[in-house]
Structures are given as structure tokens and as C-alpha cells.
Amino acid sequence: MTTAPDTEAAPAGPADAPAAVPLRVGDPASPAPEQASWREVALYALGRVGVALRRAAGIVRPIGWVLIGMAALLWIVGPWLGWREITVAAVISTTVLVLCLLFLIGRTTYDVRLDLTRTRVVVGERAVGALTLANSGQRAILPSRVVLPVGPGRGVFGVKRLAPGEEAEELFAIPTTRRAVLPVGPVSIVRGDPLGLFERVDSRDEPVDLYVHPRTVRFDGQSLGFVRDLEGMTSRDLARDDIAFHALSEYQAGDDLRHVHWRSTARTGTLMMRTYEQTRRSHFVIALSTLPGEYAAPEEFELAISAAGSLGLRALRDSYRVDIRTQSGKLRSETQKHLLDALAGVGETRPRDGGTAALAGTIAATVPAASVVVIVCGSRLGAAQLQAAIARIPVGSRVLAVVAALGEEAGRRRIGDADVVTIGELEHLPPSLRRVLG
């Protein structure tokens, strides 16, 4: 909204500020105070008129513009040709326009409450909610329409006449056919005329995000093939100081004498030291490719997302630290809710250039100490490209690849040091992993 300009004189600024140098009254370059005041008033009035015209134009629907243009044309042609019939038609058109405008007079004093019983659902479930409108004014509100935007679509409700203090409740259900993050709202109150010439929209309330989570499958009986303990997982690398005891070796310069095995030293006559297997905290990384060219169909991409979500949820239940990486960056995965919320919005932004191999290189650079790396990709990724991606994973990390191939039979193969599992549907994932990790 345009506000009235401040007509008081501003305090003078520093001497080196050119904008603050005043003009002397009487100087040819300075306008008279009366002229400056009238100019400001004129600009303010023009601004207010522009705002009013924009608001007025916003309430006219396309058919209204047609009738307005036709009425203006009739008013010009009728007197010019002297045809009384055309002048009568102009009068009728103008009268219709004025009568329709009368339906917009008054203010809608609805109090709007939008209540979604669940803001998180799984694909295929319905999100149920209620929309409550109350007349908090002193006058009755004429019948109107309420528009509730839901993502790219919208729902329209007809509201009856509400007396002062009366409420109306509208129940609704939002079907979910695909994974997404849908903004629900803001609620808009629409008042218009019976002919649909004019329409006034008043937005209320704030939008609410509805998270449509991908389908996931739960699998029990295995801990993704790794043993859990309080200190982490052992690796094949040996160290002089750690938790998991491995063997004895002779003393080397710099070894910590606290790890001397005195019984073996006394028996052999040589200073013997304990050696250990290095342990690391379980760090589970999922590399989910979001490049459309690697998937045969959008449904195959959804299968890959469901597989990644199922693996991530199981890893979180196993108390692993979970990271999910895509070409667009890292997804939140601290909890099961964060993980599913992040997966609900995958694909809304355009992925960066680079396929699965580039994504694996990013993981090698950012997460070099990952315990387990699972690569999830589509069926259009060739064996050579998948092998290149596996080769980029850091040495010491166990690699598993899950290939989503919609409609194909479940399969298993080896590429390098990695197990590659092919799934044609989500239910193939648990038995396939059981065969690989068992």
C-alpha cells in the first residue's frame, strides 16, 4: 500500500553528503514551497489512483471484460448512428454491470481455521482435514465460495449464508497418488455475482505443508550384514592402539609401553606388544542418483526412492549414522521423520550435472571414512558406468549397489568387490538383501 510521504524537513546530514545540501529559497534552481507541496500531493494522489485501478482490474473476470468492452462500444456506436435500439442495449449492459457489482459490496469477516489431522501420509493414503469458517461480525454474510489450493490443484466449497456468530464446517479428503510436498492453502474467500462477471478474493490463514512419503518396506532378521557393538565396527587395518585385540608383535620404536604383553615377553625373552584392529563408528551412506536419464520411467525412479528410504530406515533402527547424498546435495536424515520428509521432496529441484559415478566421487571426497556405501540407481545405468562408480568408493568401505529395474525379476551379481542387487518391485528388496548379507 502506498503511504503518504513525510512533508517535514529532514535534518541536515554531514557536510560531505551531496544529497543533504539544501537549496536556498529564491535560488532559480529551487522550487517554491507551495509548488513542491502541490507536486507531492499530486504524486500521492496518482499513486492512490493507480492502486485503486489495479484493485478494480483484479476483480474483473474475462467475461466481465467482454461485457465492459461491448457496453463501451454500444455507447459510442448508438449515439453516432442515432439508433435507439443500440442505445437501449448500452443502457441494459451498463445496468447489468452495476447490479453485478453490488454483490461485491461489504466485507467478509470470516474467521478461518484449517486443520489437517495428519500432515504426513504415505503414497496412496488420504489426508483428511476440516475447514471451519465462523462469522465473527455483527452482520450476516451472504453465500460465498471458499477455495482451498492443494499443490497445483484446488478444492472449491460453497458456504451458505452465515448469521452473526454462526459457524460452518467443511470436511475434505486429499487423495495422494504420488510422492510430493504439497502446500495446502492459504484459504481464499471468493465473492462474486451470479453471472460470473466479477470476483473478489480475500486470502486468509497460512499454508500448511503436506508431506507425502514414499512407500517403504520393513525387513527384519538381519542388521545389514554387520555386527553392532558399543565401540563401532572393526576393519582390516591394524593399529598399535585401539579396542579390538588382533595379535602380538615385536616392539618397535615409539610403541606405547602400556600395551606390552608381559607374559609373552617373559616366555620369549623379546618385548612383545599387543596389536589391534582399527574400529570405526558405523557410518551408513546412501548414494541416491536423481539423474532422470538413468531411469527408464518415472515409476522406476519412485522405486529407487522407496528402496533408499527402506534402507535408511533400517539403518537408523540399527543405530547407524545415516547420510543420504544426491546430485543436488545432502538430505536431512537425523531421524526417520527427517529422512522421509527429505525423500518426499526429492526431484523437485533440477539435479546438478553428473551421474552416479560423479556422485560416488563426491562421497569419496566428503565421506572418506564411510563404513557402508549403498548406491541406488536406475536400469539405464550401464555395467561399465556402475563399475566406474564403485571404483570411486574409498577403500575399506563395503559397497552395495541396488539397481531399480521396474518389472524385472530379482537378481544378484558381483562387480568388483561390490554386490549388485536388481529389484523389479519394492518387495524384492528384503529377500535380495538376505541372500547377499546372509
192 forms beta bridges with: 199
Mean pLDDT over 162-181 rounds to 89
**pLDDT surpasses 70 at 294:** yes
Q: Binning pLDDT at 50, 70 and 90, where does residue 352 land?
A: low
Is the preceding peptide bond at 186 cis, omega within 30 degrees of 0? yes
Q: In terms of pLDDT, which residue wins out, 348 or 431?
A: 431
CA angle 264, 265, 271 (to 5 degrees): 130
Q: Do the strands 153-159 and 120-122 form a parallel or antiparallel pair, or are they unpaired?
A: unpaired
Query: Which of 128-142, 175-189, 287-301 ranks highest by mean pLDDT?
Result: 287-301
**pLDDT surpasses 80 at 372:** yes
Q: What is the DSSP string of 104-150?
A: T-S---EEEEEEES-SEEETTPEEEEEEEEEE-SSS-B--EEEEEEE
Alpha-carbon span 307 to 323, nearest angstrom: 15
Which helix (H) or strand (E) is 331 found in, with range?
strand 329-331
Alpha-carbon span 377 to 360, nearest angstrom: 11
| Contact present, 133 and 112 (Cβ < 8 Å) | yes
Mean pLDDT over 362-373 rounds to 88
| Contact present, 385 and 355 (Cβ < 8 Å) | yes
Q: Do the strands 321-326 and 329-331 form a parallel or antiparallel pair, or are they unpaired?
A: antiparallel
Query: Which of 233-247, 272-286, 293-307, 361-375 ranks highest by mean pLDDT?
Result: 293-307
Digit-coded pLDDT (tens) for 30-61: 444 444 467 777 776 777 776 666 766 767 88
Q: Binning pLDDT at 50, 70 and 90, where does residue 190 land?
A: confident
Percent of the chain topping pLDDT 90: 29
Is the whole model's pTM more than 0.85, yes or no? no
**pLDDT surpasses 50 at 269:** yes
